[in-house]
Amino acid sequence: MAVKVKVHVLQHVPFEDIGSIAPWLEAHRAHVSYTRFFDDPAFPQLNGLDLVIAMGGPMSVNDVPALPWLFPEKRFVRSAVERGIPVLGVCLGAQLVASALGARVYRNSQKEIGWFPIAATLSATNTFRFPEKCIVFHWHGETFDLPSGAVRLAKSAICENQAFQIAQHVIGLQFHLETTPESARALLDNCGDELVPGPYVQTESELREVPIAAYVKINSLMSKVLAYLTRTSV
């Protein structure tokens, strides 16, 4: 990035931060601001922003009565998309993008928590291309329909819409490529009660024993997603 890029992060809970995205932004001299909804649900002006990143969280995008800031957040995300500002949604963030654009978000047939494969789907040549198959980190119980105009980029055995893209500037990821060993531990410490046994839910011991190499691989893939959205080098 020759010129300092302005990035705004929507963070929903203290224990789900941007993980490996932080050093990437620092290396590319980005100016980073935050809306931390657990502290102050205020939004910046969209003018001048070069990238909006909507992160994860244990809540649902359908929890507007209990979490009224979800309504202006969806409006903020929709406005960013409509203005052509690059937007990256991660897990809850991807569901927010889908919901903001009129798609349905609902409970998935199974919870998906742990390291499971995704498969790239056939898509246009002008979209981000995932590896044909790769193992990524999941932590979700809901899924979404594709919003209008979206192209599916990846799926898994129990979740048809794992990643999508809209035009050249919006990518939604149901899974987590930004996860580091530290952020995985934070999830386990704060959401470990969600590890109810199931065919696609790994145990706490399995999750705590994942080798560093697995995180390096997904973090590298996240760098490629960021480079694609910001039109810069990895």
pLDDT tens-digit profile of 72-119? Answer: 999 999 999 999 999 999 999 999 999 999 999 999 999 999 999 999
The active-site residue out of 12, 91, 140, 169 is: 91
Percentage of the residues of the chain whose pLDDT score is greater than 70 = 97
Residue with token string 């046994």: 197
All structural domains of the chain, each given as residue ranges with its CATH number in brackets, are 6-230 (3.40.50.880)
Rounded Cα distance, 178 and 87, in Å: 15
The pLDDT-based confidence of 125 (bands split at 50, 70, 90) is confident
Residue 51 contacts by C-beta under 8 Å, 6 or more apart in sequence? 5, 6, 7, 8, 30, 85, 86, 87, 88, 229, 230
The active-site residue out of 8, 138, 140, 176 is: 176
* 3-class DSSP assignment, residue 46: coil
pLDDT at 156: 97
Can 178 be counted among the known catalytic residues?
yes
